[in-house]
Amino acid sequence: MRVLAAVLWKDLVSEWRSRERVVAMLVFSLLVVVVFHFALPGGATARNASQAPGLLWVAYVFAALLGLNRAFSIELENDAISVLALAPVDRGWVFLGKFLANFLILGAVQIVVAVVFAVFFQLDFSGIVPQFAGIVALGSAGLCSVGTFFSAMAVRTRFREVMLPLLMIPPLLPVLAAAVEATVGLFTEGKVPPGSLQLLLVADGIYCIASFILFDYVLDG
């Protein structure tokens, strides 16, 4: 637990001092929202509640990819990743610390993006904020667990900016499909389909547990 807290605190303090990752994620995701706003034809058919969730999750995924690509950059630049590998503790706790830091950073960006998206696409979140926040949190947990795991693998490769999406996107398809379906159901019917919620919970559990166990071998690489 002390390792988890130390890694989490280090990442959050470093990000607070530089704000490089948050600013880049925020600018890029807001740019995606603006592009969607002007690129799609006007009218209710383009901006109804059934299409908006998919566009919103596209912005979230792009923000996550940009942020997770930088998740281990500080450790790589200072060769601190070797120190993490030599730490006499279960390396799964290192994964959890990085995962929670990525989750919180992504969550801060998602809040701003959701507000801007609601304004641009004239969406009314009143009455569904808790449910929507829960769906986003579950989807982000899957994004960050898979992304943190593969980011540790891709950071040592030559083309890590390209490698991470190639490794990360295929396992995330069930999470993204369930998250979009759950968001569509919430926006259109005011309730979350049980099947999509169950898929999110199962996928998050599998990915988090598998990443915790296998992270020991990733740092050895």
Q: Is the pLDDT of residue 181 over 50?
A: yes
Delimit the domains of the chain by residue range: 2-220
Evaluate if residue 117 carries a pLDDT over 60. yes
pLDDT for res 161: 77
Q: Which of the residue ranges 100-104, 120-124, 179-183 would you say has the lowest mean pLDDT?
A: 120-124
What does the alpha-carbon distance between residue 4 and residue 1 come to, in Å, rounded to a whole number?
A: 5
Position 7 scores a pLDDT of 77
Question: Which residues, including other chains, have CB under 8 Å from residue 52's CB and lie 6 or more apart?
Answer: 117, 121, 123, 187
Average of per-residue pLDDT across 49-60? 84
User: What CA–CA distance (Å, rounded) separates 142 from 18?
Assistant: 26
Work out the average pLDDT over 64-72.
Answer: 84
| CA distance linking residue 169 with residue 189, whole number of Å | 28
Rounded Cα–Cα distance for residues 6 and 88 (Å)? 14
Residue for token pair 């979140």 = 125
At residue 85, the pLDDT reads 61
